[in-house]
Amino acid sequence: MQTDKLLHDFCRAVEQRNGKALAALFTEDGVYHDVFYGAFEGRENIAELIDDWFYRTATDFRWDMHDPVSDGRKLYARYTFSYRSLLPEAKGARAMFEGVAIMKLRDGLIVEYGEVANVATGFLDMNFAPERIAKIFARQNAALKARPEMARHIAD
């Protein structure tokens, strides 16, 4: 599958609440590492992430990928992402994020999806209290420090 088509199909599947279509872009044992919800392994779980988890507290998703770079084994793309939050404190606000999608590929399918995102902008859009934002960042920081590649950065 060509990079542009893969990214287009990826974004549209999320926007259309079509977890099955998104999951079909992954290998059977593929893993989606979501910046908020964690890892979802296998097509059935990836479909659930989209159809249930994403739409549990949000609607009207918009996702665009920009400036993709790929060697056929890895794919990087800058993205813009937004949704209308259903959380009470958000009062229907559109939460906007920017990030980078990182995909490992095999035979034109996604083996692993991960992302690095600036989530602070979305939290501000949704009127999150500073204490809530601090808890979220503390969880993300702990998860980051648990990754093996971070060992030499926290050794001191």
Determine the structural domain holding residue 111 and report its residue range.
Answer: 3-128
pLDDT of residue 106: 96
pLDDT digit string (tens) for 118-155?
A: 888 888 888 888 888 888 888 878 877 887 888 888 76
pLDDT of residue 156: 62
Q: Is residue 150 in a domain?
A: no
Number of independent structural domains in the chain: 1
Q: Is residue 78 in a domain?
A: yes
Q: Is residue 135 in a domain?
A: no
Q: Is residue 112 in a domain?
A: yes
Q: Which residues of the chain fall below pLDDT 50?
A: none
Q: Is residue 20 in a domain?
A: yes
Q: Is residue 41 in a domain?
A: yes
Residue type, 3: T
CATH number at residue 79: 3.10.450.50
Helices vs. strands in the chain: H and E counts, helices first? 6, 6
* Dihedral sign for Cα atoms in the order 29, 99, 94, 38: positive
Give burial (CB, 10 Å; 0-12/13-18/19+) of 104.
middle
pLDDT of residue 70: 96
pLDDT digit string (tens) for 112-125?
A: 999 998 888 888 88
Q: What is the pTM of this model?
A: 0.87
Q: Is residue 148 in a domain?
A: no
Q: Is residue 141 in a domain?
A: no
